[in-house]
Amino acid sequence: MQRTNDGSPRRIVVISTGGTIASRWQGTGYAADASGDAVLATAPLPEGVTVEVRDLFNVNSSLLTAAHQLVLLRTVHETLADPGVDGIVVTHGTDTLEETAFLLDLHHEDPRPVVLTGAQRPFGTGDGDGPGNLYDALQVAATVRDLGVLVVFDGRVHAARGTVKTQTLAADAFSDPSAERLGRVGFSRVDIERLPDRPAVLPLPAAARTADPDAGRGALPRVDVVFHHTDGDRLHFDAALAAGARGIVLVATGAGNATPEIARAVADATARGVLVAVTTRVPAGPLAEIYTGGGAVDLVANGGLLTGTLRAGQARIAVLAALLAGTEGDDPARRTAVLRRLLEGPVRAAPALATGTSREAAPAPVPARA
């Protein structure tokens, strides 16, 4: 049974944002409309856990904006301002869960866990996976500490950084193609197998304090994603610049390669103070400066920053976070330095786990309840 040091139950707050886990049939398709209380009622509660629900918004996650994500970030920080809260579970749509989890993790320094989960099958279906995922997420939120923001799905525990949706429909929807899972949950146990790598945490950005999802786009920095392919030219890159992008993520080929024309576009962008991050369309592995002739050697020489093993969605979040970390008067060099740290500077989390440890420490598995 999960108990605090004084013997009282663990107090977990569930923040409901919609997604498939809250989606019901609308006549032509599914859309999020079930309340957080309704979603919670489908799942048994782990022993020794009490739950409070907060309905934040109720949308399919493909409709989320950066303003929604910043409102959630603010809500997480406000919730953790209560010392009586032991952890948070966020129910979220799977389409953009990886982006939201990473944004929360970049700004999360509290030892208490924030766990994101959702479902691949809609609310109320006989074979729905939402109740099991929610139960597992509550177990993890009541059990671990000092692991940052986590994704719990289909019995697996993943670090926010690097974890992406790798299956469109299958229950085992998430993984980090370049790293092992963080742990697993099941049979009333939470096993933590390794510690996550995380960059130094950013403070809550000023934009999070004023973000309003109803205000529409345009109030936040524009960050676009441009995909390179055979016959690719700089048309879309230039269109992003013309639209006012302050950051661009270039999805290159291989280990980070494009063309001399694209390399010149990167130089033009960075000369204007635009942040350029270079990722790849390849699912796994790091980027590397190997090739010239428009390859990563030239993209980096012209001011692009390689994203390591981060792929497009999370690379875009890193660029947005770097822009939000500054002010209008910041010089581009400072913003570039912040982005470089987010992309290249992870530090190993301190091994101060309350009920889970890493393989290096050779822990015994941790019971989630008695």
Is the Cβ–Cβ distance between 358 and 194 less than 8 Å? yes
Set 94, 143, 163, 279: catalytic member:
94
CB within 8 Å of 309: residues ≥ 6 apart: 162, 176, 177, 178, 179, 284, 285, 286
With 0-12 / 13-18 / 19 or more C-beta atoms within 10 angstroms meaning exposed / middle / buried, residue 21 is buried
Find the length of the chain. Answer: 370
Distance between CA atoms of 101 and 157, rounded to whole angstroms? 13
- Does residue 166 have an active-site annotation? no
- Does residue 307 have an active-site annotation? no
Distance between CA atoms of 228 and 276, rounded to whole angstroms? 14
Neighbour count for residue 366 (Cβ, 10 Å): 18
Reference 225, options 173, 281, 162, 167; nearest CA is 281
Set 17, 20, 100, 163: catalytic member:
20
> Can you tell me whether residue 311 is helix, strand or coil?
coil
Q: How far is CA 77 from the centre of its chain?
A: 16
Neighbour count for residue 254 (Cβ, 10 Å): 16
**CA angle, 190 then 195 then 201, to 5°:** 115
Measure the N-to-C terminal CA separation of the chain; round to a whole number of Å: 4
List active site positions.
20, 94
